[in-house]
């Protein structure tokens, strides 16, 4: 992930970076938090730009490799990285949102947390989503997006990332959220982690 140096932010808005293995439920959690927020609350959900065809299980904007490179060269990405044979990016619009006082949440990369911290400094809040290896395997198999070999590669990579997490936790605060159990519990936990940073961020009342 290549990024500009740490920017000067003109507000106290926070950037929530959700990370975790593919299949841990990040997109599902983000979608549920979104529908439970009241209209007008200062939390914006950043889209990811990915060089992969659109699918129903992931919220992203699909770009061709050429389109991705054009946008990158024009400086339209604030964060970009490569993983799982695809290129990923977050657009520069989040810089404007943060400076306007809007909190932002996005689906990020575990391998590039430190680069994101260099870019956004104390505004960054890292939430690391985890699931048990057995459940992760089950979810990857059920979505039928990867081959058997690719699933094994993702499981092995997830094991390696635990050491990376321990290293990162020595340099900045990383909050762990377990999504192995009931989905509603994980949603409530994520809501709490986000809402505790600003009182105006509240779910809609029934």
CB 118 within 8 A of CB 171: no
Residue 56 pLDDT grade (very low, low, confident, very high; cuts 50, 70, 90): very low
pLDDT bucket at 11, cuts 50 / 70 / 90:
confident
- In this prediction, residues 116-131 reach a mean pLDDT of 95
Predicted confidence band at 10 (pLDDT cuts at 50, 70, 90)? low
- 138-152 per-position pLDDT tens digit: 999 998 888 999 999
- pTM here is 0.85
pLDDT category at 199 given cuts 50, 70, 90 is low
- Closest to 191 (Cα-Cα) out of 9, 23, 4, 36: 36
Work out the angle at residue 31's Cα, subtended by the Cα atoms of residues 26 and 33, and round it to the nearest 5 degrees. 95
List the one residue out of 65, 71, 164 whose CA is nearest residue 113: 164
**Does pLDDT of 189 surpass 50?**
yes
Mean pLDDT calculated for residue range 41-57: 78
Residue 24 phi, psi dihedral angles, 5° rounding? -80, -10
- Order across the sheet with 60-62: list the strands: 60-62, 48-50, 86-91, 77-83
At residue 125, the 3 state secondary structure works out as strand
Architecture of domain 15-46+101-195: 3-Layer(aba) Sandwich (3.40)
> What pLDDT, on a 0 to 100 scale, did the predictor assign at position 139?
92
Backbone dihedral region for residue 84 (phi beyond 0: left; psi -120 to 50: alpha; all else: beta): left
Q: What percent of the chain has pLDDT over 70?
A: 85
């Amino acid at each position: 992930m290549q990024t500009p140096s740490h920017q000067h932010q003109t507000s106290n808005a926070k950037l929530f970076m959700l990370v975790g293995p593919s299949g841990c439920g990040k997109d599902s959690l983000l979608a549920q938090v979104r529908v439970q927020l009241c209209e007008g609350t200062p939390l914006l959900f950043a889209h990811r730009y990915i060089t992969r065809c659109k699918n129903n299980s992931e919220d992203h904007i699909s770009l061709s490799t050429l389109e991705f490179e054009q946008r990158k060269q024009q400086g339209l990405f604030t964060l970009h990285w490569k993983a799982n044979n695809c290129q990923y990016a977050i657009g520069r619009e989040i810089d404007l949102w943060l400076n306007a006082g809007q909190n932002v949440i996005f689906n990020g990369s575990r391998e590039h947390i430190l680069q994101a911290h260099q870019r956004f400094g104390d505004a960054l809040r890292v939430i690391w989503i985890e699931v048990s290896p057995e459940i992760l395997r089950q979810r990857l198999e059920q979505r039928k997006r990867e081959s058997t070999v690719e699933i094994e590669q993702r499981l092995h990579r997830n094991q390696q990332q635990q050491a990376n997490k321990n290293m990162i936790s020595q340099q900045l605060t990383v909050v762990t959220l377990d999504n192995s159990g009931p989905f509603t519990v994980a949603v409530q936990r994520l809501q709490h982690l986000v809402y505790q940073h600003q009182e105006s961020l509240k779910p809609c009342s029934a």
